[in-house]
Structure 1
Amino acid sequence: MTIRTDFPHAITEDPDMGIPMPDGCRLSARVWMPVDAPANPVPAVLEYIPYRKRDGTLQRDEMMHPYVAAHGYACVRVDMRGNGDSEGLMSDEYTQQEMDDAVAVIDWLSRQPWCSGTVGMMGKSWGGFNCLQAAFNQPPALKAVISVCATTDRFADDIHYKGGCLLGENFGWGAVMLSYSSRPADPALRPDWRADWLNRLENEPWLAPRWAALQERSAYWKHGSVCEDYSRMQTPVLIWGGWADNYMNTVSHLVENVPAPCKGIVGPWVHQYPHTAAPGPQVGFLQLAIRWWDRWLKGIANGAEDDPAYRVWMMHSAPPDASAPYRAGHWVAEQDWPTPRAKPLTLHLHGASHGYLGRDEAAGFAQDIATPQHLGLKAGEFFPMGLNAEMPGDQRDDDALSVTFDTDVMPDGMDLLGAAKLTLTLASDQPLAFIVARLNDVAPDGSSTRIAHGMLNLCHRDSMEHPRPLTPGEAVTVTFALDHCAYRLAPGHRLRIALSNSYWPFVWPSPAPATLTLTAGSLTLPVHQGSTNEWTPPPAEHASPWKHRVIRQGKTRRFIETDQITGTVALVVQDDLGDAENLTHGLCTGETMSERWEIHPDDPLSARATHTWEQRLSRGDWSVRTHAWAEMTATATHLRLTARLRAWEGDNLIFQRDWDDEVPRKAV
């Protein structure tokens, strides 16, 4: 990774540019732009997120935005309403107010004397969603977007539900936002910080119960899902994803369906920007971003519209490693997507004491799937952020608890590019149940590396909008897709499909331990014809990192523990980010988090998730602290989600509130 210091333009920075909204609310922006922009206007590039520009995303902002600004752009990092140094309140994610504010910001930027009138938008995760939603809403000045780790469908491919299954991360993200949004503005920028903070705390939403109650693909989830009408996507889109992140499907969906120029790039990465993300190789995301902006915001004929439609890092077989710093592979560049170079191959599930996956039609069989509730502890995070064992580990322990079907050893290996599809015929002895499938690479030594996974809440077998319980004992045939992948299976390895009806803590368990009786099935693989390296991206580089002093080093632990008396199994995550001082403006920040996901192998109603977050801010004699605690449990009929928020000014407790919500289990 190269730190670049020589640039075409000298830049200036404003730490708190006020952007007025139509209702009078002032949003706070940090802006970098060329010093001569008032005399020679430049395009604006907006990043619009709730994660606090003053401290939360400052480290990555300072590596990216000055870099882009120094190439002749005004980079505008805006705190959303109710977050960071902006006024107002935030009530939920992706609200109409949030989207209207984005449109208003884009319009305001286009009319500034230092702006040429054209605006681009970029962002990762929440910010990536906003890019796509803004393009969907078609503000006239928005000419291009770059979206990283985002989704087209808020119900199918976000942190709440997957295949209609309730994700553990739905609760986890509610706890995160309870903590993140509880912090005040910086008093150095907001003299009214205290009154504003108390108002924020009084109106702080506990969102996890709201999301958990919406167990079907309703109007709530369709709002903000650009897949509802791809024809509205008339703005050029550069979409990025990572195979170690759970937003990888978005890239294919957009490239295939967006009518505007749309290019997709997927690397081996976790939920981070591609110039800093693990596993390597990192790439020159910023150079490629500037190429995109030059084409669509400045009108420079650089051929960006003729780049391959879909560029992906095809990962090669490697030993499983939940903290892999690098994944071997090569770049594949498909000029068209879907590609004619990938052909379907259907393999059939054969029942036996050891299941077999082969090309021949299978004879009839009956195989029960009734997996223990703690299966899934090596699944990894929904969106891993780094190298703290957050990616999928060796799958062989979970495979041993699953029902598995293996191919013969493949002497020549196999290349896969696209999404595998699984068709199963099965019956359940319970009205509520789900099925999880993992496609794994099994090496000669028995180690098992997850290539892709997929899942289906069987109540959603006919419709995501209108789930209905199963009729116990009645066979149904279902088809669902696994996540997209690009993978080269090494010669001498085997493919494995591992099936389970538990996946803790990735999926919240069904209310009763179901037995699924499987009687037929097939797997259709997207087999690629083979390729050599077809693209060489620019090397990763960025601007100078932030100036800071470490006050206290952090430490992260992740472990699995088993209570030898009760039999309860728990995944425990302890993440202390330490404390640091910003040497530019003196703000000291710190964050500590712990998660505990426990369950008994025989009892789905023993599931318990407990999360604790602490946020710390100080400067001189001023200090504040917030503490958020949240817990989720369940009965056979209800999900229970409790939370507690406390806030201190110095040593004085100034705010406390408790929530206790029960949500009926309709389809989960």
Structure 2
Amino acid sequence: NDVHYTGGSVLAVDMHAWAATMLAFVARPPDPVHVGEVMWRDMWTERLEAVDPFIHTWLAHQTRDAYWRHGSACEDYGAIRAAVLAVGGWHDPYRDTVLRLVENLPPDRVRGLIGPWSHQYPDRGLPPGPAIGFLQETLRWWDHWLKDEDSGALAVPLLRSYVMDAHPPATVYAELPGRWVGDPAWPSPSVTPVPYAFQGAPRLVRSPQHTGVDAGRFFPFGNDADLPPDQREEDARSVCFEFEVPQETWVLGRPRVRLRLTSASARGQVIARLCDVAPDGASTLVTRGVLNLSARTGRDQAVPWEPGTTEDVEFELNGIGYAFPPGHRIRLSVSSAYWPWVWPQPGSEAGFTLDPAGSSLELPVRAQESDPSITFGEAEEAEPLGVVVPVTLDEPRPERLVLRDVAAGTWRLDVDPRYGGTRVYPDGLEFTEEARETYTIDETDPLSARARSTWSVRLHRPDLPWDARVETTSAITCDARDFITSNEVVCRDGDEVVFHRTWEKRIPRTAG
């Protein structure tokens, strides 16, 4: 739930892109080698006739209702009776789940492990690292719980975390500098909430609608352009508050912001980014959080803001382990837009006024005690399947390309998610996937937001011969009342079109 609704805001880049991905996935055919050279097509067409785009369902639930709650562990931690080894990465949007599980499950059957990793297994060696012997960790856990062996699985601290050192932004790291720390409980007795009060006169926060184009990838997979670049341009589109770092400061957990806001609009969103500013001015994103203003009393309901009134709001940023070095500055940047992570709301272009007198940042400051006993084996992986990736002479597309039309005032983010390319498997299957995502917005108009995703999938067996193709297009636009979705699926057996369907749907904007 938290991945789709962070603070009750519709996450455009995740919801749209994943719905488009799933549409392409479910439209893929069965393999005749495994289901029969006659049956495969009947099975395929039967499956296609039942397809309905996931986005229809997801956008129909814009608050945290029963649809989202049923799969959420936080609804009833007592229902989890299994032993849990919770593993996450500071660059993975699921990382806060680890903190919640170690806080709420019995300590005699849970352990948490959070490294600097992206949305990948910790033994894969994809940036950022360091990689660890993850298979050995899981084996030790299963040996304890499934074989009753004294493997030492519970002899480690309740939570093992990697506190990252400061590092320049926009760099691909094979191994982020830092150290491991261990905490016997969570919340930890070694972590103290430290408030940082804002200063100054009230400030108008009215960000351009393209604020967020430097957010990086929502689900980093270890690609070169996944992590956020230097945040100075994003900071310039935000209202910033800075705090000196006279001595090294370790942060471990979820920072919290309290903001006193006056909104002229009934709808909107507030985004807070915590950045590390180096002496040369470089701004590295540390963590961030989002609040849908209509979800300020809870994500299970949408309560419009009474225009012109002032309220105090409070929300947490995503969990992080980070060390701010002396001589740097802690920057808290507040914006009213974050495209394409957050779909802009009608009226949000007016922004809001932030009163520093009633606002503050609270950091979970940890004692500077690393744990040298936390060690891991060398990363081990099974032998690969022997998949062949053919060499191509085509120039690769940029992973993330930001384009600005100066005259029109529009911004477009082109994304190549690098999901596949062509792979030839040992049994002869040739499999090709190509995807492209585009996110477009006018810098002054929240209703101009548009997300579009195209997929092309080919499954080919030259020896049969068998050549099946899938092409999908998914798009979302909006007006003040509705989200407007369109989806198209075209499937071919060779040159024959066996399925072609389009869906056009308007879904009322109840909270987004």
Q: State the TM-score bracket (shorter-chain normalisation).
A: over 0.9
Cα deviation, 1:589-633, whole Å, max 9, x if unaligned, reads 111011111111111111111110111111112110101101111
Q: Secondary structure at the match of 2:265?
A: coil
1:474 Cα deviation after fit: 0.8
Runs of 5+ unmatched residues, structure 1: 1-153, 352-364
Q: Secondary structure at the match of 1:435?
A: strand
Match of 2:109 among 258, 261, 264: 261
The normalised TM-score by structure 2 is 0.95
Q: Counterpart in 2 of 1:614?
A: 456
> How many angstroms apart in 1 are the aligned matches of 2:20 and 2:157?
40
> How many angstroms apart in 1 are the aligned matches of 2:149 and 2:204?
61
Q: Counterpart in 2 of 1:525?
A: 363
Answer yes or no: is the 8 Å Cα contact 2:182–2:370 preserved in 1.
Answer: no
Q: Does 1:291 align with 2:140?
A: yes
Quote the RMSD (CA, aligned, Å). 1.3
Q: What percent of counterpart residues are identical?
A: 40
Cα deviation, 1:385-422, whole Å, max 9, x if unaligned, reads 122311111111100110000012x2322100111111
1:213 Cα deviation after fit: 2.1
Q: Counterpart in 2 of 1:419?
A: 254
> How many angstroms apart in 2 are the aligned matches of 1:217 and 1:278?
33
1:248 Cα deviation after fit: 1.0
> How many angstroms apart in 2 are the aligned matches of 1:271 and 1:514?
36
Q: Counterpart in 2 of 1:459?
A: 294
1:556 Cα deviation after fit: 4.4
Answer yes or no: is the 8 Å Cα contact 1:406–1:496 preserved in 2.
Answer: yes
Q: Secondary structure at the match of 1:459?
A: helix
Q: Does 1:573 align with 2:380?
A: no
Match of 1:369 among 198, 205, 222: 205
Q: Secondary structure at the match of 1:292?
A: helix
1:294 Cα deviation after fit: 0.7
Q: Counterpart in 2 of 1:589?
A: 431
Q: Counterpart in 1 of 2:469?
A: 625
1:549 Cα deviation after fit: 2.3
Match of 1:656 among 490, 500, 504: 500
1:366 Cα deviation after fit: 1.6
Q: Counterpart in 1 of 2:156?
A: 307
Q: Counterpart in 1 of 2:382?
A: 543
> How many angstroms apart in 2 are the aligned matches of 1:578 and 1:532?
42
Match of 1:167 among 11, 18, 36: 11
Q: Counterpart in 1 of 2:84?
A: 237
1:378 Cα deviation after fit: 1.0
Q: Counterpart in 2 of 1:429?
A: 264
Q: Counterpart in 1 of 2:188?
A: 339
Match of 1:188 among 14, 29, 33: 33
In structure 2, what residue type is equivalent to 1:187?
P
> How many angstroms apart in 2 are the aligned matches of 1:496 and 1:390?
22
1:196 Cα deviation after fit: 1.1
In structure 2, what residue type is equivalent to 1:290?
L
In structure 2, what residue type is equivalent to 1:226?
A
> How many angstroms apart in 1 are the aligned matches of 2:435 and 2:224?
14
Q: Does 1:469 align with 2:304?
A: yes
Q: Secondary structure at the match of 2:332?
A: strand
Answer yes or no: is the 8 Å Cα contact 1:325–1:387 preserved in 2.
Answer: no
Q: Counterpart in 2 of 1:213?
A: 60
Q: Counterpart in 2 of 1:640?
A: 484
Q: Counterpart in 1 of 2:74?
A: 227
In structure 2, what residue type is equivalent to 1:233?
I
In structure 2, what residue type is equivalent to 1:374?
H
Describe the shift of the 1:422–1:575 C-alpha distance in structure 2 as closer, same or farther (beyond 3 A). Answer: closer
Higher normalized contact order (CA 8 Å, seq sep 6+, divided by chain length): 2
> How many angstroms apart in 2 are the aligned matches of 1:322 and 1:207?
35
In structure 2, what residue type is equivalent to 1:506?
W
> How many angstroms apart in 2 are the aligned matches of 1:532 and 1:296?
28
Cα deviation, 1:303-361, whole Å, max 9, x if unaligned, reads 2123211111110000002533321111111122221011111111112xxxxxxxxxx
Cα deviation, 1:427-471, whole Å, max 9, x if unaligned, reads 111111110000100000111111110111010111221221000
Answer yes or no: is the 8 Å Cα contact 2:239–2:335 preserved in 1.
Answer: yes
1:515 Cα deviation after fit: 2.1
Answer yes or no: is the 8 Å Cα contact 1:618–1:624 preserved in 2.
Answer: yes
- Matched length: 497
Q: Secondary structure at the match of 1:549?
A: coil
Q: Does 1:665 align with 2:509?
A: yes
In structure 2, what residue type is equivalent to 1:531?
E
Answer yes or no: is the 8 Å Cα contact 1:421–1:525 preserved in 2.
Answer: yes
Q: Counterpart in 1 of 2:402?
A: 560
Match of 2:351 among 515, 520, 541: 515
> How many angstroms apart in 2 are the aligned matches of 1:466 and 1:561?
37
Answer yes or no: is the 8 Å Cα contact 1:209–1:662 preserved in 2.
Answer: no
Q: Secondary structure at the match of 2:218?
A: coil
Match of 2:218 among 378, 382, 385: 382
> Which is worse superposed, 491-500 or 387-396?
387-396
Describe the shift of the 1:187–1:173 C-alpha distance in structure 2 as closer, same or farther (beyond 3 A). Answer: same
Match of 2:233 among 393, 397, 402: 397
Q: Does 1:278 align with 2:149?
A: no
In structure 1, what residue type is equivalent to 2:64?
R
In structure 2, what residue type is equivalent to 1:529?
A
In structure 2, what residue type is equivalent to 1:270?
S
> Which is worse superposed, 508-517 or 338-347?
508-517
Q: Counterpart in 1 of 2:22?
A: 177
Match of 2:170 among 306, 310, 321: 321
1:497 Cα deviation after fit: 0.3
> How many angstroms apart in 2 are the aligned matches of 1:310 and 1:205?
41
1:45-194 to 2 correspondences below 5 Å: 154=1, 157-158=2-3, 160-168=4-12, 169-191=14-36, 192-194=39-41
Answer yes or no: is the 8 Å Cα contact 1:432–1:469 preserved in 2.
Answer: yes
Answer yes or no: is the 8 Å Cα contact 2:140–2:152 preserved in 1.
Answer: no
> How many angstroms apart in 2 are the aligned matches of 1:661 and 1:326?
46
The normalised TM-score by structure 1 is 0.73
> How many angstroms apart in 2 are the aligned matches of 1:466 and 1:564?
39
> How many angstroms apart in 2 are the aligned matches of 1:323 and 1:615?
29
1:533 Cα deviation after fit: 4.5
Runs of 5+ unmatched residues, structure 2: none
1:205 Cα deviation after fit: 2.0
> How many angstroms apart in 2 are the aligned matches of 1:556 and 1:483?
31
